[in-house]
Amino acid sequence: MATLNIIGAGRVGATLGNLIVANRVLDIGDVCDSDIAHARDAVDFIGAGRALDDIAAMQAADIWLLSVPDMRIADVAHALARHRKDGAPSIAVHCSGALDTDTLAPLRAIGWSVASAHPMLSFANPGTAVFQFEGTPVGLEGDRAARAAWSEILAAIGARCFDIEQGSKALYHAAAVVASNFLPILAAMSVEMWQAAGIPQPLIEDMMHTLSRNAAANIVALGPKDALTGPAARGDRAVVEAQSQAIGAWDAVSRDAYDALSTLATRLALTGKVRGA
């Protein structure tokens, strides 16, 4: 059975390692983290591996998973290339949604095949994530050999893999940010405006729960265009302008966001797309 080494003993690495061991897909070799306590905790959760805190001490492996924060991927790739330059070529994969395989260039330069694989799943709690992973979409980008190998591994633990076009990683990840990370911001904006309008807090909570639940259900059932409602979608410019002015008096940046979103809502209602001609 092929061997996997993991650098970065965080939530993503621990979750994937656990699933790989549970499904008997790969043998786990070394699990390395700058904090040895984190490495030991990850080994315990994964159920296999040797905990280390020094990349130089790691033994050879067929596949290397770099599950470190985005800002550390390039440095780790440089360090790994420096220590493994005289060994047999391997496969290296990182899990960043925003960064492509250019960050692994030092490993590609010593003959390794490299890829990025971004699971569309929240890894807030590995104990929960291992049960949620089945069916998770994973975007793959990079060298053919690395994509093929990691895709097979991911499929064996329940992922649904797809390829991201070269050069499109930033746009792909931005879409995920808009779909997920911006929803809490819009929710917070609504809550604060209701508070400024004097709405009682218990009622705010009820309204947010009802509106967000129904909006999400409608998007899933109908698609974005048919789920769209509101004054901009109806073409009611007088209401849109009045609301824009009210929000501007409350917060200028929020008004800019409202105006931009109203423009996109108008486009979506008229053409079915938010992008202009």
For the segment 62-92, what is each residue's pLDDT rounded down to a tens digit?
999 999 999 999 999 999 999 999 999 999 9
Query: Tokens in use for 35?
Result: 């904090």
Instruction: Write down the domain spans for the chain.
Output: 3-167, 171-271
Q: How confident is the model at residue 31 (pLDDT cuts 50, 70, 90)?
A: very high
User: pLDDT at position 276, please?
Assistant: 85
Residue 226's φ and ψ, nearest 5 degrees, are -75, -20
CA atoms lying within 13 Å on the CB side of residue 218: 12
User: If you count DSSP H runs as helices and E runs as strands, how many of each does the chain have, helices first?
Assistant: 13, 8
Cα–Cα distances (Å) from 150 to 1, 42, 95, in that order, read 14, 21, 11
Q: What CATH topology corresponds to 3-167?
A: Rossmann fold (3.40.50)
- pTM check: above 0.85: no
Domains 3-167 and 171-271 share a fold: no
The pLDDT value given to residue 101: 95
Which residues, listed in sequence order, are joined to residue 138 by a DSSP beta bridge? 119, 161
CB distance 240 to 232 below 8 Å: yes
Q: Which CATH superfamily is domain 171-271 in?
A: ProC-like, C-terminal domain (1.10.1040.20)
Q: How would you label 170-182 residue by residue, b for 16+ Cβ within 10 Å and e otherwise?
A: eebbeeeeeeeee
